[in-house]
A and B are shown apart, each in its own frame.
Chain A
Amino acid sequence: MPSETHRPHAEPAGSDALIEVDHVSFGYDASRAILSDLSLSFKRGKVTAILGGSGCGKTTLLRLIGGVYAVNKGAVRFDGEVIDTRNREQLYRLRRRLGMLFQFGALFTDLSVFENVAFPLREQTDFPEAMIRDIVLMKLNAVGLRGAAQLRIAEVSGGMARRIALARAIALDPELIMYDEPFAGLDLISMGVAANLIRTLNDVTGATSLVVSHDVAECMTISDHVILLATQGRIVAQGTPAELMNSTEPEVRQFVRGEPDGPVKFHYPARPLAEDFGVTL
């Protein structure tokens, strides 16, 4: 329907990777490397979760895949093509094949709900108004918000905003959907709704989903593949949810069980207690 590069739905178990991260190193400035020689691949049609504590570079990875920043070393490949951030034409062509859900929705506050979802359709296609209306209502229906189409953005709750943003992200039926912390700050019901939507969308459209999160429980229920990152993008573990939940590695266990102390220390490095409080123990 939308574009010539649209692939037929529900390709069974495509095993090649849609996204390849090839020995990538990146830092916002020269002093601190966020990612150091990271190599990953994201399989077509699967939901891959990227877990890790704050500051491990998960969100940065999404930005590199989206071509917002250029890698310092290595390459990111989208469907075999190396992403060159200086090539605007290529960048925009590739971006038309992906949809991104930002952490708090990033909805356009001056437009209504309907207009927000219609935005990519209006900008990227020549569809007649009637067709746009149908598509928008269908996407809103998929996220359960068809009745909210006429609301203003200021009137919607946080959970609703995320869902509207999701409807907007899938308006053009992208091949790759990226989720930046989709569960952050949501109540349990909304989290369940979001998780359900991510999984269902992936299965129905045959898209590839990347979920960046630190919510272990929800991610484990919906992912096909899980990658656990630590600082500087070091891969601690990757595999199926079951493999990670049953892992005996201390780092994995601490993260997955949410233990306050373990390989990731509770105390920030400091002088010995005796020195600070002037006591001898």
Chain B
Amino acid sequence: MTNPLQALGRRVLDALRALGHNAVFFGELLRSVPAALRRPFLVVAQVHAIGNLSLLIVMSSGLAVGFVLALQMYYALVTYGAAESLGLIVNLSLVRELGPVVTALLFAGRAGTSLTAEIGLMKAGEQLAAMEMMAIDPKSRVLTPRLIGGIIAMPVLAVLFSAVGILGAYVVAVYLIGVDSGNFWSIMQNGVDVWRDVGNGIVKSFVFGVICTFVAVYQGYETNATPEGVAHATTRTVVIASLAVLASDFVLTALMFTH
């Protein structure tokens, strides 16, 4: 029917339009931040729904990853006689990369889908339209508090993931493998820089928090108000947020950790 070049062109234009729509929406959410902050309890309630309720999965995953990293790294390091550096390696892996990234992926799956579904169902039930008709901006009342809540919750979750992972690795390294406890901490402390490693990791998790929460909120708001529409939207949230996190992780790592 239409030649492939036209089809490609249309695809590109559609993608550009979607990107622009996203950007405009993001700008509108940012503009309603002051209004949202005037009702701190709304934000607090969202930090609870997004952050507190994700604690269990994040911390258990952190523990598991810490265990596994310690075991796997040990087998690699012991060949070079560098088993004492186990703590250092695990710490750097967690704090620089795995903490922010894995937490973001878990977040997209757990909190992201629940945000999308909730907002999508509110839209389907005309709750957002009802708010509009009552002269209340649904963005500042419903959407922006969730955005702010996610941005606050994510770095906390990422930090806890890394911290619990390091503790888990400590248990495996010192009690299971037999690495010296003092060496475990001192080699780690000497090798990990607060600003470069921990700080950059926290910056990453802020960025990921913005990405995941925004994608979730946008997909929920723009969904078709039907059961299939909501189902598709939650899937899109996980896919888009995960890909965006991984892509931005690549860019951020290149910026932060290479000279």
A and B touching (C-beta < 8 Å)? Answer: yes
Number of B interface residues at 8 Å Cβ cutoff, please give it: 13
Q: Which of B135-159 contact A (CB under 8 A)?
A: 135-136, 141
In the bound assembly, the distance between CA atoms of A104 and B121 in angstroms comes to 13
- Whether, in the assembled complex, A108 has its beta carbon less than 8 Å from a beta carbon of chain B, the answer is yes
- Whether, in the assembled complex, B193 has its beta carbon less than 8 Å from a beta carbon of chain A, the answer is no
Q: Which of A95, A107, A108, A124 contacts B133 (CB 8 A)?
A: A95
Q: Which of B101-143 contact A (CB under 8 A)?
A: 121-122, 125-127, 129-130, 132-136, 141
B130 surroundings in chain A (CB, below 8 A) = 100, 102, 106, 108, 165
Residue from A96, A103, A104, A123 whose CB has the most chain B CB atoms within 10 Å = A123
Could you tell me if A106 and B129 are in contact, using CB atoms closer than 8 angstroms?
yes
Could you tell me if A109 and B125 are in contact, using CB atoms closer than 8 angstroms?
yes
The majority secondary structure among interface residues of chain A is mixed
B129 surroundings in chain A (CB, below 8 A) = 68, 102, 106
B135 surroundings in chain A (CB, below 8 A) = 91-93, 95-96, 124
Q: Which of B125, B127, B133, B141 contacts A100 (CB 8 A)?
A: B133
* A177 shortest CB reach to chain B, Å: 11
B136 — nearest CB in chain A belongs to which residue? A123
Bin chain A's interface residue count.
20 to 34
A101 — nearest CB in chain B belongs to which residue? B130
Could you tell me if A98 and B133 are in contact, using CB atoms closer than 8 angstroms?
yes
A95 — nearest CB in chain B belongs to which residue? B135
A100 surroundings in chain B (CB, below 8 A) = 130, 133
Q: Which of A147-170 contact B (CB under 8 A)?
A: 165
Could you tell me if A104 and B125 are in contact, using CB atoms closer than 8 angstroms?
yes
* B254 shortest CB reach to chain A, Å: 42
Please report A residues at the B interface, Cβ cutoff 8 Å: 66, 68, 91-93, 95-96, 98-100, 102-104, 106-109, 119-120, 123-124, 165
Q: Which 10 A-B pairs have the closest CB atoms?
A: A106-B126, A106-B130, A92-B135, A95-B135, A100-B133, A102-B126, A96-B135, A120-B134, A123-B136, A106-B127
Please report B residues at the A interface, Cβ cutoff 8 Å: 121-122, 125-127, 129-130, 132-136, 141
Q: A66-B133, A96-B135, A108-B127 are in contact. List 15 more A-B contacts (CB 8 A).
A: A68-B129, A93-B135, A95-B134, A99-B133, A102-B126, A102-B129, A102-B130, A106-B125, A106-B129, A109-B121, A109-B122, A109-B127, A119-B134, A120-B136, A124-B134
Question: Would you list 21 pairs from A and B whose C-beta atoms are within 8 A, ordered by A residue?
Answer: A66-B133, A68-B132, A68-B133, A91-B135, A92-B135, A93-B135, A95-B132, A95-B133, A95-B134, A98-B133, A99-B133, A102-B129, A103-B126, A104-B126, A106-B126, A106-B130, A108-B130, A109-B125, A120-B134, A124-B134, A124-B135
